[in-house]
Structures are given as C-alpha cells and as structure tokens.
C-alpha cells in the first residue's frame, strides 16, 4: 500500500529532550504536521515560533518533513497578524484551563471580545483551530461547546474554523450545517469508547482529552472517516507524556500514537473502507481544505508485514508508552 504525502493535522511535539525523542517518529511517516503551540510559555510571538520551528527541524532530521506552525490564540491586532501571516499555518484557540498547558487560554467567548482578531484572521485567510470544550460535566463538554462553534461560524462566515479532535455525534452533525466548519479526527477516537478507558481497571495510557465517548459517537466518527467525507482530516493529537506522569495519581491526559498511526489506519481502512478513502482522510481532504501544495512529494509504502509495537520509546531522560504497546500490527511502514 502506498500513501502520498500523509499529513498529521494535529500534533504535539513538546520540547527539549521530549522533542528530540518524538519528532523523528512523526517526520519519518508524515510529509507535514500541524504543530500545537501550548508549550510553557505558549507560542505567542514570531521570534519564539521561529526558534521552536528550528528546534523541530533539527530534531526531526528529515528534509521532507514540514512543520506547519501555529500561534496560541490571544487578541492579536491586524498589524501583527499581517507580519505573522507568512510564518504561520493557523492560530490555535484553547478555552482557559481545559487541557494541557492551556491556563492562558480564552475565558470570554463573547463576539465583541473576539471580533477584532477574528475579523483580521478572516481577511488574511488565517484558519482558526479550536479545542472545543466547555468547563462543565466531562462527557457533555464537547457537545455543549457546539453553541460556541455555531456562534463563531455565523458571525465570521469567511473564517475557516477547524473543530479539533471531535468525538461526538453532535459535532459530526454540526459539520454539515455550516460551510466554514471543518474537523480533525484522531486514530484513538476511531477505536476507543469510555468503556475501553475505565470499563474495567483504569487504563491511564488511554486517557485523553476530549475523553473517549459512547459507541454511538464512535460509530458516527467512523462513518465520516471511512466514507471519505471531505470536511474531515486526520489529526493524531499524539500527545506524549513521560510514563511517570501517566502512571500516577493525577494522570496526564494524552495518547502517544505517532509511531503507529499510519500502520493502524491502514489496517482499519482495509477492513472497513478502502485505500482511496484512506488517502482522502490522511492527506487529500486537508490539501483541498487548506490549499496545501508541496514542492517534493513524499510517498510512504506500507508492507503487509506483521510487527510488534515497542513497549516503550526512550532516551536518556524520557520514557513514553505508545498507544497499543506490545500489540501486533499487520502493516509496517517500509524503512
């Protein structure tokens, strides 16, 4: 099986030793990835963004991998955004305190408060990526955020809005109601429900935000992805945390799926769909939505060859447990 220019439209690479460990794993399999800005401190200026991009390129050590950089949302003025436009792919909005390193996110979603920045982004064709969750009962957070998505879509019709890592039937249906709404879907949300996470003993390496939902929600996500729906894109939301921060009281939210994403997607689409729809999900839809073009194509070959997922990935100071650690997969990315 061959895939042309696989794209990860939502990726966490962290920084320092963690960056050095995980960046090569994504760079090997993907042509480009949208890099999340929720570092400490978050990426809010061009100097910091450029520096981070340089660190990513150095760590990934792959000339055919493009980090698509994002800024952490705040009330930027039009003058700043005009200067930033050629440096960034998008701007990422986090509700305050809703997920990892989001304490400096947005608390006020009133249109007048957001209007100057969002109107400037619309004029400059800068996409808005959103982690869409409210701060109430955990299973309802994403569905309850639908009203905010609707308000933004109605008031900023020329703004391209990407609902990140959607997990609910509610948001799947919302995609069909507004022309300017798009979405990313993760690998793990195509596979997991809350029952997998806490139905028996708690499995900390399956704990993520947004939390996995119901069987009905998962089925609706799978229908969009496997049927080649053109408004959804693959975004791994691969989010590495040290083993010590996952296997503890106060478990960190995040699933590290980067090393196995293409292999597992190939298996899922072979079973439930076809290679054409996998190509759409993994690349073509995103290229069409965001008008992405690459000077050099990256062709990834997946051999129908059994292999076992490593139990861990580590360097001198970091150890991460990957999604599906120790399990046997049917497709392997050719070296």
| H or E segment to which residue 301 belongs | strand 299-308
Count CA atoms within 13 Å of residue 10 on its CB side: 28
Active site residue 237: yes
Residues 6+ positions from 143 with CB-CB distance below 8 Å: 168, 170, 171
In angstroms and rounded to an integer, the radius of gyration of the C-alpha atoms of the chain is: 19
Find out whether 11 and 236 touch, Cβ atoms under 8 Å.
yes
Pairing mode of beta strands 232-234, 181-185: parallel
Find out whether 314 and 21 touch, Cβ atoms under 8 Å.
yes
Q: Which two tokens stand for residue 190?
A: 């195509």
Count CA atoms within 13 Å of residue 313 on its CB side: 23
Indicate which residue of 62, 237, 284, 297 is catalytic.
237
Measure the CA–CA gap between 44 and 51, rounded to whole angstroms: 12
Residues 6+ positions from 325 with CB-CB distance below 8 Å: 205, 309, 310, 311, 312
List active site positions.
Answer: 237
């Amino acid at each position: 099986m061959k895939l042309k220019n696989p794209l990860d439209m939502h990726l966490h690479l962290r920084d320092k030793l963690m960056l050095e460990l995980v960046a090569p794993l994504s760079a090997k399999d993907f042509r480009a990835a949208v890099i999340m800005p929720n570092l400490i401190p978050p990426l809010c200026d061009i100097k910091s963004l450029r520096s981070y991009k340089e660190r990513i390129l150095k760590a990934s050590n792959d000339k055919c991998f493009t980090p698509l950089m994002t800024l952490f949302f705040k009330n930027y003025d039009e003058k700043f955004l005009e200067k930033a436009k050629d440096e960034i792919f998008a701007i990422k909005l986090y509700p305050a305190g809703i997920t990892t390193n989001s304490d400096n996110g947005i608390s006020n979603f009133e249109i007048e408060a957001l209007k100057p920045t969002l109107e400037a982004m619309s004029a400059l064709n800068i996409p808005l990526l959103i982690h869409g969750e409210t701060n109430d009962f955990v299973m309802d957070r994403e569905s309850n955020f639908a009203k905010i998505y609707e308000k933004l879509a109605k008031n900023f019709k020329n703004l391209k809005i990407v609902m990140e890592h959607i997990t609910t039937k509610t948001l799947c249906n919302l995609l069909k109601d507004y022309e300017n709404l798009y979405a990313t879907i993760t690998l793990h949300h195509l596979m997991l429900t809350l029952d997998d996470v806490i139905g028996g003993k708690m499995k900390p390496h399956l704990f993520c935000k947004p939390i996995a939902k119901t069987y009905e929600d998962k089925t609706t996500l799978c229908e969009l992805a496997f049927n080649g729906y053109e408004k959804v894109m693959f975004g791994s939301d691969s989010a590495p945390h040290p083993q010590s921060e996952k296997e503890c009281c106060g478990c960190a939210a995040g699933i590290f799926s980067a090393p196995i994403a293409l292999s597992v997607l190939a298996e899922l689409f072979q079973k439930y769909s076809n290679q054409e729809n996998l190509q759409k999900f993994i690349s073509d839809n995103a290229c069409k939505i965001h008008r992405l073009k690459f000077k050099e194509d990256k062709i990834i070959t997946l051999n129908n060859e059994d292999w076992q997922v490593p139990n861990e990935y580590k360097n001198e100071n970091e150890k991460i447990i990957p999604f599906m650690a120790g399990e046997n997969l049917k497709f392997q990315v050719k070296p």
